[in-house]
């Protein structure tokens, strides 16, 4: 039942405020400015013993993991990174007993992720799951984990599950941080930020008409560049994947800092750029990148916390805490991908050549 929406993608994009609310419900502990994660199976001593975090997933779940790794580094100051599970399992990885591994998956059935989990378990590693489907294979094979609570996601193209995964990583990073050096005040600041998310998501979705118009404006592009820096880079990668999957427009994602090392050669009026420009300590650096693009007559659509002069268009999103901004900045670009695909008459819920879960090699 699509409840009045024309596609599941549209419905699921609009379910995000409720989904995030569900991910937070019953988990926040105001007394100690931390969160309780029921099935984690990792006590304070275990949490303190973690020296590294390695996050594994595929596609959108990998991108959620990239944001998660940054959150863990920022809030818990534990070295963390994400890698495609599909690569990890084939490169005979060094498995380290002091590393905490996290397998991320909407379906909990993605074969590449499951195979990576099994290989890790065989080598004695501790593996947690960050999974949406309760009781799925990955949920069962991991030592514990965090349910994403996005609810059922039908569209092949993941939207609400991505957002909830990043929220779940935020909760986990806060939890790890509070077993270490994250102060009560910072814990409280993050909790307040998390609580603001559902209303801020509604605010972004209320701007749908502007995004629909912008999609029409850029739909003639043969190819698009997506850029971001540090927190914004995985957001750019995910937005680029969304556009590719659902509209079949070619898109590339690059760190804004890498533009001058090559991809700047591609910039011309027919290659528009979508830039993620948060109001954080890198704002001036990001503005400089916009200037470089403008100087090559590139069209720019910015997603930012305030109007960007150098951009041709800006989608303004509400500001949260710096660490949590990536949760919100991709949401307008889900709608951008949706409206672009719709204008092109694409099969939005079932893009060609793709399946909802890839349970084979």
Q: Which is nearer to ligand M6R, 32 or 90 (CB)?
A: 90
Contact 253, 240 (CB under 8 A): yes
Q: Which is nearer to ligand M6R, 60 or 320 (CB)?
A: 60
Contact 239, 218 (CB under 8 A): no
* 211 to 250: interface string for ligand M6R, x by CB under 6 A: ----------------------------------x-----
Token reading at 271: 């290659």
Token reading at 170: 């935020």
Q: Which is nearer to ligand M6R, 7 or 106 (CB)?
A: 106
- In sequence order, the β-bridge partners of residue 301 are 274, 313
Token reading at 24: 């937070």
Cα(87)–Cα(79) distance, rounded to whole angstroms? 20
* 259 to 288: interface string for ligand M6R, x by CB under 6 A: ------------------------------
- Backbone conformation region of residue 108, classed left if phi is above 0, alpha if psi is from -120 to 50, else beta: left
Specify the stretch interacting with ligand M6R by CB under 6 A; choose among 55-63, 168-176, 202-210, 304-312.
55-63
* Smallest separation (angstroms) from ligand M6R to the CB of 101: 15
Token reading at 93: 């990885």
Which of 113, 204, 317, 333 binds ligand M6R (CB under 6 A)? It is 113
Token pair 């790890």: residue: 176
- Torsion on CA atoms 65, 166, 308, 270, rounded to nearest 10: 50
Q: Which is nearer to ligand M6R, 157 or 274 (CB)?
A: 157
Specify whether 356 is catalytic: yes
How far lies 145's CA from each of 78, 126, 142, 174, 178, in Å?
18, 11, 7, 15, 18
Catalytic residue among 188, 196, 350, 356: 356
* 158 to 177: interface string for ligand M6R, x by CB under 6 A: x-------------------
Q: Say whether residue 143 binds ligand M6R (CB under 6 A).
A: no
Q: Say whether residue 86 binds ligand M6R (CB under 6 A).
A: no
Which pairing describes strands 250-255 and 273-277: parallel, antiparallel, or unpaired? unpaired
Which of 47, 102, 157, 348 binds ligand M6R (CB under 6 A)? It is 157
Interacting residue ranges for ligand M6R, rule: CB under 6 A = 58-61, 105-107, 110, 113, 156-158, 245, 354, 357-358
């Amino acid at each position: 039942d699509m409840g009045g929406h024309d596609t599941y993608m549209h419905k699921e994009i609009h379910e995000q405020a409720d989904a995030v609310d569900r991910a937070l419900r019953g988990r926040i502990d105001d007394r100690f400015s931390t969160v309780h994660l029921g099935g984690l199976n990792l006590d304070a001593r275990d949490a303190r013993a973690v020296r590294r975090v390695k996050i594994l997933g595929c596609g959108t779940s990998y991108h959620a993991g990239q944001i998660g790794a940054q959150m863990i580094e920022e809030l818990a100051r534990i070295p963390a990174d994400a890698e495609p599970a599909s690569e990890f399992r084939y490169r005979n990885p060094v498995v380290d007993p002091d590393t905490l591994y996290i397998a991320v998956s909407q379906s909990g059935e993605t074969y590449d992720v499951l195979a990576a989990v099994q290989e890790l378990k065989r080598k004695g590693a501790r593996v947690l799951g960050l999974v949406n489907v309760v009781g799925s294979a990955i949920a069962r094979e991991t030592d514990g984990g965090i349910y994403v609570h996005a609810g059922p996601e039908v569209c092949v193209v993941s939207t609400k599950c991505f957002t909830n995964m990043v929220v779940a990583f935020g909760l986990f990073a806060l939890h790890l941080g509070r077993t270490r050096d994250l102060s009560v005040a910072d814990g409280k600041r993050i909790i307040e930020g998390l609580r603001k998310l559902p209303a801020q998501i509604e605010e972004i979705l209320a701007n749908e008409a502007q995004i629909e118009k912008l999609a029409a404006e850029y739909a003639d592009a043969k190819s698009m560049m997506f850029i971001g820096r540090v927190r914004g880079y995985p957001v750019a990668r995910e937005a680029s994947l969304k556009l590719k999957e659902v509209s079949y427009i070619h898109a590339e994602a690059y760190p804004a800092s890498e533009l001058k090392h090559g991809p700047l050669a591609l910039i011309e009026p027919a290659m528009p750029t979508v830039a993620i420009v948060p109001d954080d300590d890198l704002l001036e650096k990001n503005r400089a990148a916009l200037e470089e693009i403008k100087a090559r007559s590139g069209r720019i659509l910015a997603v930012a916390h305030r109007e960007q002069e150098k951009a041709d268009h800006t989608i303004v999103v509400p500001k949260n805490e710096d660490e949590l901004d990536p949760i919100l900045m991709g949401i307008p670009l889900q709608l951008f991908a949706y409206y672009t695909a719709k204008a092109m008459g694409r099969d939005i819920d079932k893009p060609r050549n793709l399946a909802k879960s890839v349970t084979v090699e």
